[in-house]
Structure 1
Amino acid sequence: MFQTFDVPFSGDQGPSRLAALRAQIVDHDIDGFLVPRSDKYMGEYVAPCDERLAWLTGFTGSAGFAAILPDIAGVFVDGRYRLQVRDQVADVFTPVDWPEITLAGWLNEHAPSAVIGIDPWLHTVRDVDALRQTAKNVTLKYVPNLVDAIWTDRPDAPIAAFFAQPLEYAGEDHASKRTRIAAELRDSNIRAAVLTQPDSIAWLLNIRGADIHHNPVPQSFALLFADGTCHLFCDPAKTAEIVDHLGPDIAVLPQNGFIASLADLDGPVLIDPATCPDIVRSSLGDIAQFGSDPCVLPKARKNAAELQGARDAHLRDAVAMCQFLHWLDGASGITEIDVVSKLESFRRDTNALRDISFDTIAGSGPNGAVIHYRVTHDTNRQLQDGDLIVVDSGGQYIDGTTDITRTVAIGTVGDDERDCYTRVLQGMIAVSRARFPHGVGGNHLDALARAPLWMAGLDYDHGTGHGVGSFLCVHEGPQGLSRRAETPLTEGMILSNEPGYYRAGAFGIRIENLIAVHPASQLDTGDAHRSQLCFETLTWVPFDRRLINTAMLSRDELTWINSYHATVLDKVGPNLSPAVKVWLEAACEPL
């Protein structure tokens, strides 16, 4: 349930596994095979039985894919994982900087006129179409999953039971949700919608599961019909405890009958090409109609109960975080594993923690420069004087999901680290203070967080923020703060605000609060007719004052920090022990 520190997969066996996979490629009369880090539900996080990319290559990041050819095997990763991939994979694999180098361009160079095998369950409609259009001389061929053929000790699929999300936290019963979404289908002349993402099904039916570590999603497929009834495809044993909750309008059917059931549908049938496995499109044929998953935007727009749950969860989590930071301030001779374990223990002490929301990142010194670093027994490092430590963590509570990053000084750090930290903080403040009109997407706001770094010739290789679910996935679309986040931000969306800076071999910095989109109050000046949005801060944990160079701050930035710290003390202080409250008072003193 919680974090372990073993290496889940090792690159040591990469050469033998690659050789076995290439033998499978020959046996199936193809020229190559694609190995994505995805499962048939197309989620970011996968069960151990679906960790095919990690099993083959040793790369354990949450995004990436491999293209296996007879004479080269490329592992494609984005900027978050470029240090990590080189440490994890054997030299028989070639790291490829993606998306700067596209899969189509790479295949056109290394495998012109090749026949490339794909498992149609593991590639979306959009990705298959894009590859066909851009790798024009490459032919894609459906084949059984070739990794499964050689993974002889592959774990079993998860069998955790589903459970109901209480109405007091969901804020709307599932009959109302189904009626609302079904009306939208009828308005668009759609007979049924195929739902392939478990978090959409979780939201629609007010259910949760434990099939994926740290993300309480129920692995399943669903068909929502225009009359509001629903077919839920999963192991029926998983729903034994929620039969009454589901009610008579939801039929539970075995998952192995999902594809066959598509042949019985009358069209048009809605599928989302961005998330739907290509096998669904090929099974539906001409009755498939492309469009967005109808649950995605309603799920992202949190209702009043979900927003209040997020506030309550973050206040509870802030108490645990402040206890942890107080402990860290007085600790000595500790390691990164000690940090992770102690923080988890404080969250457990709330007696409300259902799980952590992802494996805690606790990277000290040079490990902090690995953006998604995960400490293991092999990489564990003792904290040293002069280190920065990046602690990125979160909790899953029944009323909300939290995600927070604080960078902390260990002993005395240099002026360069303090200046970089201050620039990162300035960027986070700029997003926190932003006001913007309706229709603005996260791609418009991303530059606010980067501008202080850009002024010094610095930047970071990840988005500024991602959407966050309500006791669901810690990474939730379609909202985000990045150059690619085009979805307009609307009231109720929850996002992270987490700029950073990373210097390979030296240190990393990231600062993260969660924020919710909120109507902005009317200004006394400006266009009185133009309503605007702003962000409500959800996270209340102090920043490390020792790392802030006040000489670099504007008056408005200084005022914002002091106001934030005063609110932290007011909200969190009464819930702390006397000793921790004394620490918090010092941590929140005005600059």
Structure 2
Amino acid sequence: EHQSEYIAPYAKRREWISGFSGSAGTAVITQEKAALWTDGRYHIQANAELTPRDEWVLMKEGLPGSPTLGQWLLSQCQTSDKIGFDARLLSQRQNSILQHELQPKELVLTPIKPNLIDQIRSDERPPLPLSTAFVHPIERSGVSSAEKIRAIREHLKTTGADLLVASALDEICWVLNVRGSDITNTPVIISYLIVTPNTAVWFVSDSQLSPEIHAHLKEGGVTTQPYEDFHSYLQNIEGQRALVNDLRCGASVYFALKQRGMDLVENDFITEQKSIKNNVELEGIKNCHKHDAVAVVSLLHWLENKLEKGEVVTEYDVAEKAEQLRSQQKDYVSLSFDTISGSGPNGAIIHYKPNKESAATVTKDKLFLLDSGGQYLGGTTDVTRTVHFGIPTEHEKLCNTLVLKGHINLATTIFPPGTTGIRLDSFARQALWKYGLDYRHGTGHGVGAFMNVHEGPHGLSYRETKKFPFKPGMTITIEPGYYEEGNFGIRIENLLIVKHVKTPFMFAGSPSLGFENITCIPIQTKLVDASLLEQSEIKWLNDHNQWCLDTLSPLIQSDDILQWLKNECLPI
């Protein structure tokens, strides 16, 4: 309902009907066929998970010959057919695009209530989660909730709007300076928010609110209404003009406001404000990355030791150990997503999640990919390292080095203000392209401040959606990769902060922008073919690893782990 990437069990309708558990995908069922669309991150996973496999047609988005959802519906339906959908689950932007695609046959998107999947699984559907909300204090947020609401009201005045409706959970929790645990690994409360020039109403289950939260809300002038009353509230709301984020707002909200005769204005004011971190947030993010790096370095040391001793370690064991080591760090709250722990061919499954029963054994003769992160009171982390614990092949070293060259090329790029992610994405692919190689996912995404691990509106991608310009204070991952199905996967991911950089000149009087890396985990040099690197790239790699050693040495208590880190950070 809230256009969330990660959702609570009660909302996992597509997974229930199809078996596919990925965070992105659309299922369509007709009288004769069932089809599922998902992007390049999940092509391998969806092929393995769809159940029953012979009943589902897998549409691999982005590949030649794969029709869009609209194109497929046109081919399957007769003129003026009705297509049922849950208007809460389709964003207004998706609804608008699909309506346009269906015009040639005058197909009609028809909202259906209640949800058909909910009716089928009514007896076994999990309940709405009701975690206890807690205050995210100004010592960590940097700006009070009252100030954020004032900024929204100023924006209402500027745009001539009467109200703003927020349904994206991270936006709501950011505005109110609250956090929760309604969704695993994402510190949010399932709710809605409406802000007008004189009121701010939070639609949330009262059982989730402590006396401390009530006092906090009162300070910000926020009142509450029951979560289940939100849609009926919309049916009686007054106003001429409303601001909505059409990408993160369900079509049901759009329909309700339209029925009230309102002029709806697409607006991502909260999304943009949230993405630009203040100095307090940036300090918290940098600090938590240091502690998170201690956990990851300790994990890699532990894993190498186990393998050297000939002990059996599975991908699942590594994921469990990663969580254990993170939980020992200062201000740790939870993981930020399910750990991706992939040995050999499983590393090519971009969002692979090992399970205890079927996890592969990590061995010294295969590449191992670890993509993991944590939620800390001060920030959110996301890092990927690809390592080899034996002797890598020349082909593996070649591919890894090309990925590294792309990472360095983008991380060191200087660009003018107004630059968007779609313009920078290719910087990370050029080295791979020269060898006829590529990867089927975006190059980077924003990361929240003790919030969603994937955050917009900016990003690094070849997709047309990434048109929001980079601004100082934004965070962004750089994570190029390369994947050979049935063989291995490679990805190198750091988190960086967008900042002003000094240049000899300033075109049009505007300072240029660049990136500051804050991920302090070394990049394995064993997997690098130095003959393929320019001197500037060798310097970057050596400087990065030395910085990691200097940063982490005071924080590591174990002499064995410290010695391992020193060995990993030796220059090439």
TM-score, length-normalised on structure 2?
0.94
Amino acid in the other structure paired with 1:507: F
Using the TM superposition, give the Cα deviation of residue 238 of structure 1 relative to its aligned residue in structure 2, in angstroms.
1.2
Residues 198-229 of structure 1 show CA distances to partners (whole Å, capped at 9, x for unaligned) of: 111111110111100000011100101123x3
Give the distance between the partners of 2:567 and 2:148, measured in 1 at CA. 47
Question: What secondary structure sits across from 1:479 in the alignment?
Answer: strand
Match of 2:292 in 1: 317
Three-state SS of the structure 2 residue aligned to 1:243 is helix
Residues 528, 330 of structure 1: CA spacing in aligned structure 2 closer, same or farther, 3 A cutoff?
farther
Aligned to 1:392: 371
Write out per-residue CA displacement over residues 264-304 of structure 1, whole angstroms, 9 at most, x where no aligned residue: 32221212221211111211122141222321101000000
1:507 corresponding residue in structure 2: 488
Is 1:191–1:266's contact at 8 Å kept on the other side of the alignment?
Answer: yes
CA distance in 1 between partners of 2:508 and 2:250 (Å): 47
Choose which of 252, 272, 281 in structure 1 pairs with 2:245: 272
Counterpart of 2:222, as a letter, is I
Deviation of 1:527 (Å):
5.2
Amino acid at match of 2:487: A
Quote the residue 1:546 is aligned against.
526
Of 168, 173, 180, which aligns to 1:209? 180
Equivalences for 1:248-397 in 2 at 5 Å? 249-262=221-234, 263-285=236-258, 286-332=261-307, 333-397=312-376
In structure 2, what is the Cα distance between the partners aligned to 1:426 and 1:296? 32
What is the CA RMSD across the aligned residues, in angstroms? 1.3
2:7 maps to 46
Partner of 1:493 in structure 2?
474
Q: Which amino acid aligns with 2:101?
A: T
2:72 to 106, 111, 125: 106
1:143 aligns with 2:112: yes
Q: Percent identity?
A: 37
Match for residue 13 of structure 1?
A: none
> How far is 1:258 from its partner?
1.1
Q: In the alignment, is the contact (CA less than 8 A) between 1:281 and 1:288 conserved in 2?
A: no
1:334-353 C-alpha deviation (Å, 9 max, x unpaired): 11011111111111111421
- Output the amino acid matched with 1:174: S
Letter in 2 for 1:407: T
What does residue 55 of structure 1 align with? 16
Rounded to whole Å, the distance in 2 between the matches of 1:566 and 1:316 is 17
Q: Once the 2 structures are TM-superposed, how far is the Cα of residue 581 of structure 1 from its aligned partner?
A: 1.1
Structure 2 distance, partners of 1:530, 1:264, is 44
Deviation for aligned residue 1:132: 1.3
Distance 1:525 1:190, change over 3 A: closer
Q: Distance in 1 between the 2:87 and 2:507 partners?
A: 52
* Structure-1 residue corresponding to 2:542: 562
Amino acid corresponding to residue 226 of structure 2 in structure 1:
P
- 2 CA distance for matches of 1:384 and 1:162? 43
Q: Is the Cα contact below 8 Å between 2:34 and 2:56 reproduced in 1?
A: yes
CA distance in 2, matches of 1:110, 1:322: 53
User: What does 1:196-235 correspond to in 2, within 5 Å?
Assistant: 196-227=167-198, 229-235=199-205
Q: Which moved more, 1:343-352 or 1:152-161?
A: 343-352
* Conservation of the 8 A alpha-carbon contact between 2:525 and 2:568: yes
Q: Contact between 2:373 and 2:383, CA under 8 Å: does it hold in 1?
A: yes
Q: Is the 8 A contact 2:380 2:449 kept in 1?
A: yes
Higher mean alpha-carbon deviation, 258-267 vs 335-344, is at: 258-267
Q: Partner amino acid for 1:97? A: K
Structure-2 separation of matches of 1:50 and 1:527: 50
Per-residue CA deviation, residues 11-51 of structure 1 (Å, 9 max, x unaligned), is xxxxxxxxxxxxxxxxxxxxxxxxxxxxx111111100000
> Is 1:389–1:409's contact at 8 Å kept on the other side of the alignment?
yes
Q: 1:115: how far off?
A: 1.4
Q: How big is each residue's C-alpha offset from its partner over 1:360-391, in whole Å with a ceiling of 9 and x where there is no partner?
A: 00010110110110101343001123200110
Question: Residue in 2 aligned with 1:14?
Answer: none
Q: CA deviation at 1:483?
A: 1.7
Aligned residue identity for 2:91? T
Helix, strand or coil at the partner of 2:55: coil
Q: Is the CA contact 2:291–2:330 (under 8 Å) kept in the aligned structure 1?
A: no
Of the three residues 40, 49, 74, the one matched with 2:35 is: 74
| 1:195 shift after superposition | 0.6
Deviates more, 1:245-254 or 1:157-166: 245-254
Q: Whole-Å Cα distance in 2 between the matches of residues 202 and 391 of structure 1?
A: 30
State the aligned residue count.
Answer: 550
For 1:460-479, list aligned pairs within 5 A. 460-479=439-458
Distance 1:385 1:281 in 2: 54
Q: Return the alpha-carbon distance in structure 2 between the equivalents of residues 187 and 567 of structure 1.
A: 45
Give distance in 1, aligned partners of 2:262 and 2:36. Answer: 36
For the pair 1:447 / 2:420, whether they are aligned, the reply is no
Q: Normalising by the residue count of structure 1, what TM-score does the alignment of the two structures yield?
A: 0.91
For residues 218 and 331 of structure 1, what CA distance do their matches in structure 2 show? 40
Aligned letter for 2:532?
M
Structure 1 window deviating more from structure 2 (341-350 vs 449-458): it is 341-350
Q: Which moved more, 1:376-385 or 1:443-452?
A: 376-385
Q: Residues 465 and 480 of structure 1 are in contact (CA less than 8 Å); yes or no, is this contact kept in structure 2?
A: yes
